[in-house]
Structure formats: C-alpha cells, structure tokens
Structure 1
Amino acid sequence: TVASDPYEATNSAHAIALLTEWDEFTTYDWKRIKDSMMKPPFIFDGRKLLDGNYLRKIGFKYYAIGE
C-alpha cells in the first residue's frame, strides 16, 4: 500500500519501523499517530532518532536498536 502522508500510512497499523534518519520524523504528531494505530502501538527505532521516553509516556511500546 502506498500512502500520501504519514498519518494515512499509519492508520490502523500495528507497528512502525523507523529505518532512516530523516528529520521529518521528528516533526510528526506522534500522539495523533498513536491514537489512530491498533493497540498496543509499537515503534522500532532503528536509528535512535526519536525520544523514546516521550513515546513510551504517551503509550507506545518503543524499542530502539541497542536497547
């Protein structure tokens, strides 16, 4: 499936795998994304780009490479 934006792409998703260091990922509304995902929502951050403490606080199951 191809989506035109990150919110459409993650709607009803079980998990997100972040595999690049693109700065745009740091600007997303992660609460909005989490609210639209299946529960529990998972993120695997393969670049340690995101704030794992914040994502866990808002309800993500957050895993980063090396943790």
Structure 2
Amino acid sequence: NEPYAAAKDSHAIVVCTEWDEFIKLDYELIYSTMQKPSYIFDGRLILDHDQLMSIGFNVFCIGKKPPKNQFLTQSPL
C-alpha cells in the first residue's frame, strides 16, 4: 500500500525506475485519490501513456521534448 499512500492528496508522481512494480500499479485508484490536476513524470518510459491520459493524468516524459501543445506553464500550479 505504500505507493498508494504516497500518491494520496498529491498533484504529481515521478517514476524514476524501471521496476515492474510501478508498471502494475492500479493507476485508476491512484488517480482517484490525487489532487487535480494530476501529473505523472515518467523518467524511464515504462508506463502506458495513452492509458494514463485516458484516466485523466497529464503525462510527461522526463528528458524528452514535450509536444508543442503540452506545456507545464498551462497548469494552475
């Protein structure tokens, strides 16, 4: 339960490992407990970004240039 407790009431998650445990988490549950807007920063490119965006996450790949229409400055944070 530690990953779920760590994400609760946060705005962002940073994944900086390629461990399978992070691929298999219930991101719908995680999203439901987070503050909105919710962000995931994927530092290893291991997550299913399309699935995460369909849940409602704003997904960013660390170390890659974002698409032209996706900028952190659009966030109210």
Equivalent residue number for residue 9 of structure 2: 12
Post-superposition, which runs of at least 4 consecutive aligned residues in structure 1 deviate over 4 A?
A: none
Q: Does 1:44 align with 2:41?
A: yes
Asked if residue 30 in structure 1 is aligned to residue 27 in structure 2, the reply is: yes
- Mark the runs of 5 or more structure 2 residues left unpaired by the alignment: 67-77
Bigger CA radius of gyration:
2
Which structure is higher in RCO with an 8 Å CA cutoff and minimum separation 6? 1
SS of aligned partner of 2:9:
coil
Q: Which residue identity does 1:34 align to in structure 2?
A: Y
Task: Give unmatched runs, 5+ long, in structure 1.
Answer: none
CA–CA separation in structure 1 for the residues paired with 2:4 and 2:14: 14
1:62 corresponds to 2:59: yes
How well do the aligned residues superpose, as a CA RMSD in angstroms? 1.1
How much identity, in percent, do the aligned residues show? 45
